[in-house]
Amino acid sequence: MAQSLIRPVIEEIPTTQSVWPAGFERVPDEEWTRQDPDEFGLKYDEVDQHGWYKNLEPTVAQVLTCLDENEILLDYSGGTGILGRRILPRIQHPAGILIADTSPKFLRVAMENFRDDERVAFRLIRWLKDQKRLQSIDEVLDPSLLDRKVDVLTSTNAIHLYYNLEETLQAWHRVLRPGGHVLVSSGNLINPRSRKGEWIIDETVRHINEIAIEVVRQEPAFEQYRAVLDDPTRMDAHRRLREKVFVPVRPLDFYLRSFEETGFTVLDVFEMTIFAGVEEWAQLLRTYHDGALSWVGGSEKVEGQAPSADALRDRLFLIRYALEKLFTGRDEFECCWTYITCQRRGWRQWAGR
Ligand SMILES: C[S@@+](CC[C@H](N)C(=O)[O-])C[C@H]1O[C@@H](n2cnc3c(N)ncnc32)[C@H](O)[C@@H]1O
């Protein structure tokens, strides 16, 4: 009875009414959209099921609070669209999410997840080889959207990867409307308010490497991987590869200053303890094994050759074994996640247009 009273109201909510500018293509006619979904992207998408992906909950609540009717959210570095998957079922009014990412493999999975949802659009941020830089987001968005601007911008679990933070934030400033909110989260920055015993999640990889080096040096079964340990040039190349994926952490203050200097006001910073399951983290490291422990067996990106099947098995074993030694007898470990909320300055001028 109660349901039949409620249903007509829900059905009247025009959630499919388009918020996109006229002529805007949700799915661009580009090569990556015609590829099959890739296994690496599909594997990453599984983190949605991991306990440590509770880290998205504060951002989900923030978006649901500030994304108004007919507004557009730009999910920058949106990956496979996990944030969108959590937000969209809860939005009862017309709104749009534009997922922009640098990885065609991740974006392709996002497309698979939301292909028929008119509220979701996709844009690839390309690496400009000749200029050795990523496109800025205003080079990626259509002129009609640049004119309209987006209303809210999220970046979850990614800001620590931006090697050119200031340029990235300047571009965000150009595409976000004045007064619009930026909602950022990361488990990979140095927060002076983190609690004792909390990990910076990617720092575990440095420890895994140290443990693996010790094991390889001591255990005859891994003798074949010792030569590379005594080759500083190769080890350095492997370290550089590792640090591309698990980037060295920067302090919170660096991010706050960068926001303030690029035209944003930092409204709030808070942190949360997130519990990461050892088994789930091991699963993610299996997906990123080449970034985590490439010197075991070598890498196409360093030696020009992928590891043999045997070496890959040893690498995966060493990752798991090192994790076990790091967190002996524990099912999970505590991590500190930091949330930064900013507002684009200049809203007074905008309101008076
Ligand atoms: C850990 S994933 C997070 C994805 C998604 N936001 C989430 O929370 O599941 C990091 C994302 O950042 C993207 N990324 C990596 N380097 C980047 C860069 N320099 N600029 C922008 N995005 C980048 C990756 O392609 C990936 O989708």
Ligand 1 centroid, distance to 101 Cα (angstroms): 7
Query: How far are the Cα atoms of 89, 95, 103, 244 from residue 117, in angstroms, in the given order?
Result: 11, 11, 21, 33
**Alpha-carbon dihedral sign for residues 317, 320, 324, 329:** negative
- Strands 150-156, 71-76: pairing is parallel
Residue 13: what pLDDT? Answer: 44
Residue 3: what pLDDT? Answer: 40
Structural domains of the chain, with CATH:
20-186 (3.40.50.150), 203-243+280-332 (no CATH)
- If you take atom 21 of ligand 1, which residue's CA is the nearest one? 77
Question: What's the rounded Cα separation, in Å, for the pair 78 and 335?
Answer: 22
3-state helix, strand, coil in the chain (%, to 5): 50, 20, 30
Nearest Cα to 139, choosing from 166, 171, 97?
171
Q: Which two structure tokens, joined as six digits, stand for 296?
A: 């075991």
Q: Does the beta carbon of 271 sit less than 6 angstroms from any atom of ligand 1? A: no
Question: What's the rounded Cα separation, in Å, for the pair 291 and 244?
Answer: 8
Ligand 1 centroid, distance to 77 Cα (angstroms): 4
Low-confidence residues in the chain, pLDDT < 50: 1-14, 350, 352-353
**Contact present, 99 and 122 (Cβ < 8 Å):** yes
Angle at Cα 201 formed by Cα 196 and Cα 204, nearest 5°? 95
Atom of ligand 1 nearest to the CA of 79: 27
Residue 7: what pLDDT? Answer: 40
**Contact present, 319 and 212 (Cβ < 8 Å):** yes
Nearest Cα to 340, choosing from 156, 123, 112?
156
Claim: this prediction has a pTM higher than 0.75:
yes
Ligand 1 centroid, distance to 329 Cα (angstroms): 32
Residue 347: what pLDDT? Answer: 65
Q: Which two structure tokens, joined as six digits, stand for 286?
A: 């299996």
Rounded to 10 degrees, the C-alpha dihedral 255/261/264/267 comes to 60
Per-residue pLDDT tens over the stretch 155-192: 999 999 999 999 999 999 999 999 999 999 999 999 99
- If you take atom 10 of ligand 1, which residue's CA is the nearest one? 158
